[in-house]
A and B are shown apart, each in its own frame.
Chain A
Amino acid sequence: MLLEIKNLTIEFHDHDRPERVVEDVSFSLDKGEILGIVGESGSGKSMTALAVAGLLPRKKMEKSGEILFEEKNLLTLPRHDLRGLQGDEISVIFQEPMTALNPTMKIGKQVEEALLLHRHMTDEERKAKVMEWLEKVELDDSERVYEAYPHELSGGMRQRVMIAAAMVSDPQILIADEPTTALDVTVQSQIIKLLLKINKDSGVSILFISHDLSLIKQITHNVIVMQKGRIVEQGDTDEIFLHPKEEYTKKLISSIPSVDLRK
């Protein structure tokens, strides 16, 4: 078991009344597994993902439970040690490739940043590694992309760049927070295929957050259904889609536009 979350609870404290956004969530992620978390907006799925990535603010927020990675609890790990894992062992790709990249920094510099922060490498080694990943994410003309700025690339290309930047340090966990929501349908399926290929080739575990059940069904091994901060149902993806136990899950599944029928 690579990652284990035990009784995770997250409370916001910036309003008069504390607000529970995640309540008593437990699950685990195995090596090479693709685990989906699905739910409507406000279900706490993104909060859970950000907590695993260590990206929740420390102030104004109370977190309890455990997030265990390599026997370390990420919730209580000192900041410095947490930073050592971020971008090295745990990487994230976000929803909006348009804004998630720094507009004034060249693509090459952004992709290599994780290596710069976590590895001792010469400039040449780093560049070789970056070029390798720009090619792995199927960016044509990778030399040009290396020298380009984000605004010169399309949305799909930027998301590929984000994936390259996340994978360049060979992390064990890749958190994908709605990585295709902002993209066109055709680009979306390309990115999904790419993620599947990367998972197969490098054995990275993927925590795939989405509100899109048909996507979840296509790519994940296991799935967690969340509603209002709580887990409604979890288990094998095919099993849950065939025999949902809870009413909420059934409702969600029945609301999928029937992609399969159109095929």
Chain B
Amino acid sequence: MLLTLFGVSFLVFAAFEIIPGDPAISKLGTDATPEMIAALREQMGLNRPFIVRYFDWLGDCIRGDFGRSYSYNRTVISMIGDKLPITVTMTIISMLLVIAVSIPVALLLAKYMGSTIDRAGYISNQILMAVPSFFLGILITYIFGLTLRFFTPGGYISYRQNFAGFIGYLLAPSVAIAIPKCAMSVKLLRSAILEEWNKDYVRTAYSRGNSTMQVMYRHVLKNALIPLITFWGMAVADMIAGSIVVEQVFNIPGLGRILLTSISNRDYPVVEAIILLIAVVVIVMNLIVDILYRCIDPRISK
């Protein structure tokens, strides 16, 4: 796992090394004299060998020092630290929505297996899975923001000003991020339940006098959730990526906006830091999934 992180950090650093374009030039502008550029390169430490700079950078990152932004006179950590709570909150709300909605819906569809409800559920699931979350965001803005006026599009409220208002404003984008993942969870969970339902232990449970509801909740649900855990773990990374785009729809100044401005400004320290951060999140999620697996499925343990 640490090896993966090491690999990612190396790839990130190397990738930004091989690109054309000198950050010293882009910082000073094209009319800078060669002497000025050389001086700045020296000051930024760009003249040392690649490997040395990599380990320096990695060591700094581990200590929580991601360097200074090329474009703004601020440390990267202060730029990101500000915005991180926004993206994190949005991802958490989306994840909670996915779990809270998909389990009951999948149970409902499995209960009415083969009926009209099930077919309608299947079709709407397929459609919802195909809607990109930024288009959902636009639809939500159009329907609930502009037509029904439940919220003011673009009226982001900072968590420092009003925390309740902040959560309230994040609700709409979170729903937009959650819906496609939710549809996919429902589909996976429904088929997992049906698969479990054909297993022998279900008959055993019935033979002890369990009702259908009891068989579902005491026996089947836990087994059916096992494949879902992997999916949810992977969905977190997707949701962070989705939030970068959806932030633009709702005009939220989160990680996505810094990432985009940094990309267009060629502000590499910031881009590197964000990528690395997301990599850490992904790896930590894998770890959590692993631990959850061990808790829910006794067959996997060393």
Establish whether A and B are touching in the complex (CB under 8 Å): yes
Interface of A is mostly: mixed
Known: A94-B203, A149-B298. A102 touches B219 (CB 8 A): yes
**Would you list which residues of chain A between 101 and 148 have a CB under 8 Å from chain B?**
101-105, 113-114, 117-118
Q: Is the CB of B200 within 8 A of A83?
A: no
**Would you list which residues of chain B between 194 and 231 have a CB under 8 Å from chain A?**
199-201, 203-211, 214, 218-219, 222-223, 226
A101 neighbours in B (Cβ, 8 Å): 201, 204
The tally of residues in A whose CB lies under 8 Å from a CB in B reads: 29
B211 neighbours in A (Cβ, 8 Å): 79, 83
Check if B296 is an interface residue, CB within 8 A of chain A: yes
B297 neighbours in A (Cβ, 8 Å): 103-104
Interface of B is mostly: helix
CB-CB nearest in chain A for B296: A104
Q: B209 touches which one: A83, A94, A100, A151 (CB < 8 A)?
A: A83
CB-CB nearest in chain B for A97: B200
Check if B299 is an interface residue, CB within 8 A of chain A: yes
B201 neighbours in A (Cβ, 8 Å): 99-103
Min Cβ gap B60→A in Å is 45
Map CB proximity to A onto B261-302 as digits: 1 under 8 Å, 0 otherwise. 000000000000000000000000000000000001111000
Min Cβ gap A165→B in Å is 7
Known: A94-B203, A99-B199, A104-B298. A117 touches B223 (CB 8 A): no
- Alpha-carbon separation in the docked complex, A177 to B218 (Å): 24
B208 neighbours in A (Cβ, 8 Å): 86-87, 91, 113-114, 117, 165
Give the one of B205, B208, B218 with max A CB within 10 A: B208
Q: Is the CB of B209 within 8 A of A99?
A: no
- Alpha-carbon separation in the docked complex, A38 to B244 (Å): 67
A83 neighbours in B (Cβ, 8 Å): 209-211
**Would you list which residues of chain A between 72 and 91 have a CB under 8 Å from chain B?**
79, 83-88, 91
28 contacts between A and B (CB under 8 A): A55-B203, A55-B207, A79-B211, A83-B211, A84-B209, A86-B207, A87-B210, A91-B208, A92-B204, A96-B200, A99-B199, A99-B201, A100-B200, A100-B201, A101-B201, A102-B204, A102-B205, A103-B223, A104-B223, A104-B226, A104-B296, A104-B298, A113-B208, A114-B209, A117-B210, A117-B214, A118-B209, A162-B204
A-B pairs, 4 with minimum CB distance: A87-B208, A87-B209, A86-B209, A149-B298
Residues of A within 8 A of B (CB): 53, 55, 79, 83-88, 91-92, 94, 96, 99-105, 113-114, 117-118, 149, 151-152, 162, 165
